[in-house]
């Protein structure tokens, strides 16, 4: 595969990923002079918050506070619609509960979804 840093640089820009210290050029993605083992650092200076990138709609969405973020549905139809504002409120409550339980930066959280 060729042009790896260029591809990931353009993907980062196209996806409008929110971050601190975003890459300014393909060289900020990865140092191609390094071997792939041991694994080199990708986007070394870039810091991003995964939740921030998932909890806010793209700028193209009209009325982002009222727009629907999640549609809950099953075989009988749609049972609930959750707006971006409500989704962020629910995530904030869950994050507060995790902090109260002693979860701190660097901890890993797993989950199980039952269908």
pLDDT tens-digit series, residues 56-68? 877 777 787 789 9
d(CA 84, CA 59): 13
Average pLDDT on 32-56 reads: 87
Q: Looking at residue 38, what is its pLDDT?
A: 85
- What is the residue extent of each domain of the chain? 1-48, 55-106
pTM of the model: 0.66
């Amino acid at each position: 595969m060729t042009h790896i840093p260029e591809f990931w640089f353009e993907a980062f820009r196209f996806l409008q990923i929110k971050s601190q210290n975003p890459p300014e050029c393909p060289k900020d993605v990865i140092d191609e002079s390094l071997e792939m083992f041991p694994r080199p650092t990708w986007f070394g200076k870039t810091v991003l918050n995964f939740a921030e990138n998932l909890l806010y709609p793209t700028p193209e969405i009209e009325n982002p506070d009222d727009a629907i973020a999640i549609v809950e549905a099953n075989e009988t139809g749609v049972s609930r619609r959750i707006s971006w504002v409500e989704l962020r409120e629910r995530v904030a409550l869950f994050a507060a509960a995790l902090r109260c339980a002693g979860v701190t930066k660097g901890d890993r959280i797993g989950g199980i979804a039952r269908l």
